Amino acid sequence: MALASTARAAPSPALRVEGLGVRYGALVALDDVSWEVHPGELLGIIGPNGAGKSTCYEATTALVSRQGRVSLAGHDVSDVPPYGLAALGLKRAFQQNAFFEDLSVLDNLVAVLGARAHAGLLGSVLRPLAAARRRSAAQVYAAQQLLRFGIPAAYHALRPKEIPYGVQRMLSIALAFGDGASVLLLDEPAAGLGGEDMERLVQLLLKLKRDGVALVVIEHHMDLIMAVADRICVLDLGRRLAYGTPAQVRQDPQVLDAYLGRAS
């Protein structure tokens, strides 16, 4: 069985990073870190504060100068700049919520949908009706997307500040996803969430997995990550301490050491 499955040509991972290295001055924030994630799979990244988890995303999305290679669906994209990576379907949500505070929840999403929503100045002057049609189509699409991300219609016309914190976190994910993503990087999506919101987040992550999105999730909540991750990468002091299934990682003596040695 094992032989047969290894003999089959393995499909390319949605995202693979190899030998990532980042220095901030004298500090080695990341040292030779590799992992991969396949479509419909969730990779968890865990580790103590300062382990290099967020830096992993900076390195993956070319926001810092780094060593190593990055490939998307089997294509080397190591030299592609951040906006180019987003256009290729690699999207990222940041650790802090970032909204257009003066726009409604719905218009926040319309704004990030870009070309779909904006007819362009020249287009709207020359063909106002077509521009208006495109805009309302974008609003319909945005409303559908918000519902898909668990944001009820009652919140769509409100400002981001006016909706509950748990819903704001879902909005962050919807905005990062934008008009589509093959790979979605989330940085502590459950930060500050209570039990019920946490459960809604889990359901959203599972839904995105079923839709074939490859998810990478940095998370402190062990219960959450153990429940949804297919594989876990444990970072410590910028290095990869362990990499395997949740069960493997949980029993890894080095992981137990690192966490037990520094009770948080």
Ligand X SMILES: Nc1ncnc2c1ncn2[C@@H]1O[C@H](COP(=O)(O)OP(=O)(O)O)[C@@H](O)[C@H]1O
Question: Of these, 54, 97, 139, 182, which contacts ligand X (CB under 6 A)?
Answer: 54
53 binds ligand X (CB under 6 A): yes
**And the tokens for 59?**
């390195």
* Distance in angstroms (rounded) separating the CA atoms of residues 37 and 19: 15
**Neighbour order of strands in the sheet with 27-37:** 27-37, 15-24, 67-72, 75-76
Question: Of these, 13, 39, 44, 52, which contacts ligand X (CB under 6 A)?
Answer: 52
CB of 141 or CB of 259, closer to Mg ion:
259
Name which of residues 25 to 54 contact Mg ion (CB under 5 A).
53-54
55 binds ligand X (CB under 6 A): yes
50 binds ligand X (CB under 6 A): yes
191 binds Mg ion (CB under 5 A): no
Burial of 244 (0-12, 13-18, 19+ CB in 10 A): middle
- Applying CB under 6 A, the span of 21-29, 98-106, 123-131, 173-181 interacting with ligand X comes to 21-29
Count the site residues for ligand X by CB under 6 A.
Answer: 11
Site string for Mg ion, 51-70 (x = CB under 5 A): --xx----------------
68 binds ligand X (CB under 6 A): no
CB of 12 or CB of 54, closer to Mg ion:
54
List the alpha helices (DSSP H) in the chain. 2-7, 53-60, 82-87, 105-113, 121-126, 128-148, 165-177, 195-210, 222-228, 246-251, 253-261
Count the site residues for Mg ion by CB under 5 A.
Answer: 2
Reference 29, options 51, 48, 47; nearest CA is 51
Residues of the shown chain interacting with ligand X in the complex, contacts defined by CB under 6 A: 24, 27, 29, 47, 49-55
Residues of the shown chain interacting with Mg ion in the complex, contacts defined by CB under 5 A: 53-54
